[in-house]
Structure formats: structure tokens, C-alpha cells
Structure 1
Amino acid sequence: MAKAAALAYKDEATVAATAREWGFDRVRHHHTRFTPPFPLEDTQAYTVASDKMIITGFRGTEPAQIRDWLSDATTPPYPGPGNTGYIHYGFGRALDSVFPAVKEAVADFRDNDQSVWFTGHSLGGALAMLAGCRMYLEEPRLQADGIYTYGQPRTCDRLLAASCNKGFKDRLHRYVNNNDIVPQLPPEPAYTHVETLHYIDASGRVRASMPLLGALGDHVKGATADLLAPAGDALRDHPVKQYVAALEKNLV
């Protein structure tokens, strides 16, 4: 799923070719452009299908492009999926722009009772989570069997988070790499995360849980790994390739 999230950053030809290599014979691309002053230039995603599973991968964006508007706590709330709670305005607009096409693709491709999966990194992770929640609350026949996000920002209020925690339980997996800055935005308490967390420590080990003191020490360890640029760890930990590499390391 991490590789599928990384694939969302590639061009359409590469997505299609890679999907075929993975055994997915059907591919559909989703792309919407925005006009100023909306902070995002576009939203991109893809849906691929085999006779056993369907994956929708949402593309993210770089920290320098997303950080400023994610930090804005005054952003107006946007109605959450199924009118449950509220979400960040930018996420809501971005998801609305591609969700009808994603829903149509999943419905068209699901002709053999395939399992359904959503994935994404950074902004793409937020969209993957919200798309999965929206399917669960509005289109339960197409609800996801699993949602995997990497470096996902905070997306919603506590009401929607509680609904997702209840509805998905062990099916929602949120990965955070050590000091990655994006999962720390937008600021609390306006926005929050779902409960499920897989933490990648400074040594690259995936942990299902981390005691508070241990986490603090690990954050310091990661931040001081490069003594010449300790503050840069928050950005160095964010690229999707770091997540893919860490997860591959844990498979050994």
C-alpha cells in the first residue's frame, strides 16, 4: 500500500504500466484543477482493479506547498462525510472534486466482490482517509476493507474521528515517520487524528505503540541525527520514499 501511495506521484503512463506489472488490468485516472485563490493547484488520484482487489491511491504534495495553509487554525470548517462532524476546508474541497469519479470507478470495477483499499501520502493520506469515511457513511456497499495513510495531516474534528474509530477499528492504518512535520498539522484542538497509529522510530522500526517518555527520547534521537541541521529532520522524515524504505526494512 505504501508503494501504491508513492505511485500516485507518477504520471498517468507510469501508473498504468506499473499497475499492469502488479496484476491490475483496469486503470482509471482522476484529475481536477483549481483556480486561485484556492491553495491547491490540483487534486490527482487513480483507481486500479484486478479480479481480487481494487486500490485507489491519492497523490500528496510537498511540505513547502502544504505547510502554510495547514497551519491556519482559522480555516472555516467544512461539513464532514455524511454530515458527521467537520473537516478542514481545503480537504473537503479537494475530496469533493474527485470523489464522484472515484465512487463511479470503484462501483464499475467491483464486479467480482473485490476487496477495496484506499491509500495516500501527505495530503493524499488525508484524502484517502476521508474518502474511506465517506464511503462508509454514504455508500456502505462500497466501503473500504482497509485504509493506509503515510505522513497524513490532521483531517477532522473529534466527532468524525470517533465515528471512524468505531466504523473501521483495525482497518484504518496511519503511519508516522519519527519527526515528520505534516502529521503535526493543522494545530490541535481544532483538528485531530484517528486512534490507529503505526510509529516509525528513529532507527526505522515500526512500532504499534510507544510510551510517552520513549517517544520523546526517540524524537530527540531523530532530530539530533544530523547535528548540522537538527531542525531539518521534520522535513527529511516526510517524503514517501522514506516510508517505503522503512517498511521494506521491516519486512526483512
Structure 2
Amino acid sequence: MAAQLDTLLRTLRGEWCQWCSDQARRSHMFSNPTAYAGGAVNVSAQLCALCYELPYLIRARIGGLLQVTALSIRTFRNGNSRVVVVVTDDAVYVVIRGTVFTSLKSWMVNLDFGKKQWMNGKVHAGFLQMHVQAKSFYMPIIRRQSSRDKQVLFLGHSQGGAIAYLSAVDRMRLGRVRQPVENVTFGQPRTGDRAFSRLAEKRTGGACTRVTNSRDIVVGLPSVIQGYDHFRFSFHYESGGNVVRRLQAPGAGWFNPMPSISNHSMKRYAARAQLNSGKDL
């Protein structure tokens, strides 16, 4: 009887330790999964802003942000999407341009918001198509950077943020990552349904830094009613420019009585990122 009781206690103790371990891991993954490194976010914001400039200006100004060893730029006719890949001694930056307001092709990508099955959920059809297109350009460059210590960062604003997000999740799936991966987005619209968003949170852990701006109308699109959801964790620039951490409830909507398209501009994000460049959360 004593031996049986001892066995039972050992079993319960083992289950309790496993439960505690699971809770700790879940807490780390979901309660505080991301960090805001002000300096790194500022560089990311300046790169995203530069991505909107003409290619010759990108080449002329990129040296003011990073010590570049290689630079590749591709603007696709399909969707008028642009990908800039910057290689330094210790990192590869994949920067994806957002919506070009004067481009019908760019808007057609946004309006292709029917969902397609991808991984274990559904994602925005237009963004997925642009991700596949961008991947054909940046992956050969990443493969040539064989060092396991060289970080890969996927950056983007607006539509480009959604594509960069898909690229980061894709890169980290099935444990195939050779290099450490980070993802920083600004004004990213919703990209997939709830199933995909929860998968992305688990897969990327603390690697995704989603930055939003006060009254930015785009971060609430496409709508929850259309079956879309967000990566729940974000860093939000308040009306005064101060950055704070936010957690959005699963499937929560977005509402602001005074939404602003001007607060979606990458120049506005870059200014506030620079303001908070010395802050870490």
C-alpha cells in the first residue's frame, strides 16, 4: 500500500511539474512574446520609408542607414510590388514596399481579399500571391548567405507589412530555419483568419514586432466580419507619439470614431519610430 501511494504521488508530482512547465512556456509565448527595441525599430522604419523612393535614391541613401555589402532591388509588374534586399556583415534585410496610392495594380492586390488555404488556416489571397512572387526573388539571396549566425529580417509597411509577415511565418515553419528570423511591420492590415493567426503566434514567438499608429485606419482592415484576425500583440504609437505595448483579444474588432489615412503614412511611422529610438519595452 505504501509503495502504491508513493507511486501515485510520484505520478501526480510529475504531472504537476509538466503542467507548470507548460504554463510557463505558454506564458512566455503568449503573455509577453515580443519586445520593442527602439534602435532596431527605428532602422527598420527608415528602411521601409526608403523603399518607397526611386531605385537610384535607394542606392544613394542606403549607406546612411547600414554598412551595406550587397544591395538588390526588384520591382514587379504584377501588383507593382517592390522588394529590396540589403546584405550586411551580420544580417539580411528583406524590405517590402506597401501600397502605392497612385497605382491601380497595387490596389488590386489589396482588394483581392478572398481567403486561400495556407498552412492550417486561410490568408488574404492577394497578399499570398505577392509573398510567393517576392520569395522567388529574395530566397536565392538568403541561400547564398550560408552563415547560421546571419540574421534575416523581414520588414514592411501596409501591404508590404502583410507580405513580410507571411514571409517570416513561412521562413520559420517546420523548423527549417537556419538563420535567426525577425519580423517588423508598420501599419500592417489583417492577413489571415483566426486559425492562421494563432498558428503564426506559436510559430514566430517573440520574433514579430507589429507596430501600429494612433487612428491608423488600415490596421483594422480587412474586417473581423470578413473572417480576418490579427497577430494579437502590438506596439502602439499614441497620439502624442509615445510607444506602448498592446494586447488585442482574439477576434476583436477595431473602431475609432475619427480614423485617419494620414496616420497610416510611412513617413508618420518613421517620425514616431525616431522619436522612440531610445526606448526599449
Q: TM-score scaled by structure 2?
A: 0.72
1:207-249 superposed Cα distances (whole Å, 9 cap, x missing partner)? 013799xxxxx956xx4xxxxxxxxx51121000111111211
State how 1:104-183 maps to structure 2 within 5 Å. Answer: 104-111=140-147, 113-137=149-173, 140-142=176-178, 145-183=181-219
Q: Which ranges of structure 2 fall in alignment gaps of 5 or more residues? A: 1-43, 250-254
> Do the aligned partners of 2:99 and 2:107 also contact (CA within 8 Å) in 1?
no
For the pair shown, the structure with the greater C-alpha radius of gyration is 2
Instruction: Indicate which of 191, 197, 201 corresponds to 2:228.
Output: 191
Moved more, 166-175 or 117-126: 166-175
1:61 counterpart = 2:99: yes
| The one of 49, 56, 59 aligned to 1:13 | 56
TM value normalised by structure 1: 0.80
Q: Tell me: CA distance 1:251–1:113, structure 2 relative to 1, closer, same or farther (3 Å).
A: closer
Q: Which amino acid aligns with 1:196?
A: F
Whole-angstrom CA distance in 2 between matches of 1:100 and 1:144: 20
- The answer on whether the counterparts of 1:85 and 1:159 sit within 8 Å (CA) in structure 2 is yes
The answer for the alignment partner of 1:244 in structure 2 is 270
Q: Quick check: 1:12–1:29 contact (8 Å CA) kept in 2?
A: yes
- Note the alpha carbon deviations across 1:14-64, whole angstroms, 9 max, x for none: 222333332012011233212xxxxx3x21111111111110100001468
Q: 1:67 to 1:193 in 2, by over 3 A?
A: farther
User: What is the SS of the residue equivalent to 1:117?
Assistant: strand
Which residue pairs with 1:49 in the alignment? 87
1:67 deviates by 7.1
Q: Distance in 1 between matches of 2:107 and 2:159?
A: 10
Q: Does 1:24 align with 2:24?
A: no
Q: What is the rounded CA distance, in whole Å, between the counterparts of 1:53 and 1:173 in structure 2? A: 17
SS at match of 2:81: strand
- Give, as a single letter, the amino acid of the residue that structure 2 aligns with 1:92: L
**Taking structure 1 as reference, are residues 116 and 10 closer, same or farther at Cα in structure 2, changes over 3 Å only?**
same
Q: RMSD over aligned Cα, in angstroms?
A: 2.6
